[in-house]
Structure 1
Amino acid sequence: MKQESLIFGIRAIIEAISSGKTIDKLFIQKGLQGELARELLAMVRQQNISVTYVPLEKLNRLARKNHQGVVAYISPIDFYVLENLVLEVIESGKTPLFLILDQLSDVRNFGAIIRTAECTGVHGIIIQKKGGAPVNADTIKTSAGAVFNIPICKVDHIKDAMYYLQGSGIQVIAASEKAAETIYEVNLAVPTAIIMGSEGKGISNSVLKLVDKQAKLPMYGEIGSLNVSVACGVFLYETIRQRQ
């Protein structure tokens, strides 16, 4: 099983970025100077890679060797290009089913969702480059390895992905407790992308404004909410039920 890899040293990380590797996390020492450091920072800005600036002590804990003030984690999977994946699914003649995760932060929830998505035939999972849970060893373990069997797309902005899906004839449905309709009243048998929100905040308001429909799960208990991975499972299996 391909695990998340830690690399360190400015030149090594520059080469990793140049070769197309996906950098999940990048830690740079505060105040780092030098020509190579400036070259790295220029690449980071150009490719919109998320950076955390940390004190030297943090880097020493991550890598006990000569890290030169820079430590990174490389993603254990290769990410797909959304436009290519959508076109491939449409041309296959299948009814598209995509999952969009809006700022989901817990890696175990992420892994559980990936596992359910793989079991229910989801054609691809869409996440944002910044702010969401990474694909790391915990994600892989919780997904039971399903992360290697389902395409995952990283996009700059969720909203742009939604525009592209809608322009491709795929409706975007938000899982929201504020919805007027329940999941059982919404047609999921047509090409669909389902959006699940983050554990604490749900789906952001700017994203909710762009969806085609909202749907909720009926609730009869006092708590009034489900774990996001459980809710996602219900949405996906209702989609299967409608499509059979």
Structure 2
Amino acid sequence: MKEQQDEWLAGRNAVTEALRSSQSVQKVWVAEGVKKASIHEITQKAKEQNIVVNFVPKQKVDTLVGHKNHQGIIASIAAHNYSDMETLFQRAEAKGTAPFFILLDGIEDPQNLGSILRSADAAGADGVIIPKRGASGLTSTVAKASAGAIAHVPVVKVTNMARTIAELKERGLWMIGSDAKGDGDFKQLDASMPLGLIIGSEGKGMSRLVKESCDFLYSIPLMGQVTSLNAAVAGSLFMYEVQRKRS
């Protein structure tokens, strides 16, 4: 996966303070050859917070941050702060509607994530849930692609998507998944229930565990020669179908 245009922190002190504070650190990169003893606190705190630490050649670090004044360690931070799950439930309660959450199973393209946030805002979704690993975070590229929606749609980052889905189902949500081999047409979905809409990654779709967690799998009829739609486009169709039926 190509690294996104995140905001960068360079140097041991800057990265250490970011991990100590509430800043949303996405990933940490360490140049090969840096003494592990000198970055022990950083790697330990990153591990405690389930933040990925990548050990890469020094040239890679130079390229990512754009200069060589980094002491062999840099971190990418989110362009916007993340929210928590309770905020999503509170938004639904305030509107007096059944919860409607969007769960993204590994959307890597920041343009797609930005587009999904834009659609989520327009369709009245209560928030978006993304995984910590293997997916785009809230980068500046995502913010631009969202056309401002990133400021209005709360995004929750979770460690384990399958476990999160199980917890949401315990709280009354029904999970519907977008899948090319789904049993029914997406227009058949019941929008009156508390819903979690799961959108799989570009190309691979949903992971096995996530797919097995779905209560319903729906497909979008395709009349042409292509076999699938862009993840953001498919997600938008589902979101607006929920909005249409709830209006």
If the length of structure 1 is used for normalisation, what is the TM-score?
Answer: 0.93
Query: For residues 30-81 of structure 1, what are the alpha-carbon distances to aligned partners after superposition, in whole Å with 9 as ceiling and x for unaligned?
Result: 2421544111111111111012211112222324253111011211111112
Question: What secondary structure sits across from 2:213 in the alignment?
Answer: coil
Cα distance in 2 between the residues matched to 1:40 and 1:183: 46
More moved, 62-71 vs 169-178: 62-71
Task: Tell whether 2:231 aligns with 1:206.
Answer: no
Query: For residues 163-216 of structure 1, what are the alpha-carbon distances to aligned partners after superposition, in whole Å with 9 as ceiling and x for unaligned?
Result: 121111111101111111111112022110100001110011111111111111
Cα distance in 1 between the residues matched to 2:139 and 2:14: 20
Q: 1:162 Cα deviation (Å)?
A: 0.5
Cα distance in 1 between the residues matched to 2:113 and 2:93: 28
Superposition CA RMSD, Å = 1.6
Corresponding residue of 1:12:
14
Corresponding residue of 2:175:
172
Aligned mate of 1:191, from 174, 177, 194: 194
More moved, 62-71 vs 133-142: 62-71
Corresponding residue of 1:58:
60
Q: Which amino acid aligns with 1:97?
A: F
Identity of matched residues, %:
32
Aligned residues: 241
Corresponding residue of 2:225:
222
Question: What secondary structure sits across from 2:239 in the alignment?
Answer: helix
Q: 1:224 Cα deviation (Å)?
A: 2.3
Q: Which amino acid aligns with 1:178?
A: K
Question: What secondary structure sits across from 1:51 in the alignment?
Answer: strand
Q: Aligned ranges for residues 1-244 of structure 1 at < 5 Å?
A: 4-33=6-35, 35-61=37-63, 62-82=65-85, 84-89=86-91, 91-92=93-94, 93-244=96-247
Q: Which amino acid aligns with 1:57?
A: Q
Cα distance in 1 between the residues matched to 2:196 and 2:36: 46
Ranges in structure 2 where 5+ consecutive residues have no aligned partner: none
Question: What secondary structure sits across from 2:26 in the alignment?
Answer: strand
Q: 1:4 Cα deviation (Å)?
A: 4.8
If the length of structure 2 is used for normalisation, what is the TM-score?
Answer: 0.92
Contact 1:8 1:63 in 2 (8 A): no
Ranges in structure 1 where 5+ consecutive residues have no aligned partner: none
